[in-house]
Amino acid sequence: MKVVDFLKKKKEILAQHQFDLIDLKDRIPPVLLDHWAEFLNRANNIQIVNWAREHQLLSTEESSNRQTKTVEASPIVLPEKAQTLLAQLSAQLNEEIHIGQWLTVDQERIDQFAKVTEDQQWIHTDPQRAHNESPFKTTIAHGFLTLSLLPVLTDSVDASQSPYPGVRMTVNYGLNEVRFLYPVKAGSRVRARTTLKSVTPIKRGLEVVKEIKVEIEGTRRPACLAQSVIRLYF
């Protein structure tokens, strides 16, 4: 609201209040007229206080809006190596950029994971009971075990063969989404297929989002589908 319109509106409101107070005075019994001056002073003070509060709030909002308009995001200046990698990855968006090697998820690996995480459910650690009671007739890997294998399945842990040359440090920033679509039976082999979804410049580096599908050998449905977020620092 413009200042001129604001003052005009307040003038109209105050004029209306003045009329109402005069009309109210005519209706007051004579015995109460002695208190009229005090009442009028209090009413005027309330109007002034309310106007001041509203005016202060409006000024604060206008000041905030001005600050919002004047503050602009500083441009991100990437190192030369980061610019080169950004151009390379941008040309590969929505393409499959990696297919890993097969990895066997045997009972020993499952038992070790169960010991570390203290998740000793029989569906993971008791082959005999699983054979008798489980619909899969064998033990299955923990979902989080499958998830924890993503670094090795995507060849991201071999420092001598980094998929991102020139990067000083790679940080696992988290997961946007993850689903465990089919159980991994003990003794199965799994591998990962990676599709590049996005690459975004950040301060001193790049943020990369990848969709990773963990396949089970001989099974149509994937074990896991995850959207991984990593940050590359130069």
184: nearest Cα among 102, 117, 115, 129: 102
Among left, alpha and beta (phi > 0; psi -120 to 50; other), residue 180 is: beta
Identify the pLDDT of residue 214: 98
pLDDT of residue 13: 61
Burial class of residue 130, CB neighbours in 10 A (0-12, 13-18, 19+): buried
> CB-based contacts of 137: which residues, under 8 Å, 6+ apart?
130, 131
* 143-168 per-residue burial string, b: 16 or more CB within 10 A, e: under 16: bebbbebbeebbbbeeeeeeebeebe
Question: What is the pLDDT tens value at each position of the chain, 234 positions in all?
Answer: 555 565 566 566 655 555 444 555 555 555 555 555 565 555 455 554 454 455 554 455 555 555 545 445 678 889 999 999 999 999 999 999 999 999 999 999 999 999 999 999 999 999 999 999 999 999 999 999 999 999 999 998 877 788 888 899 999 999 999 999 999 999 999 999 999 999 999 999 999 999 999 999 999 999 999 999 999 999
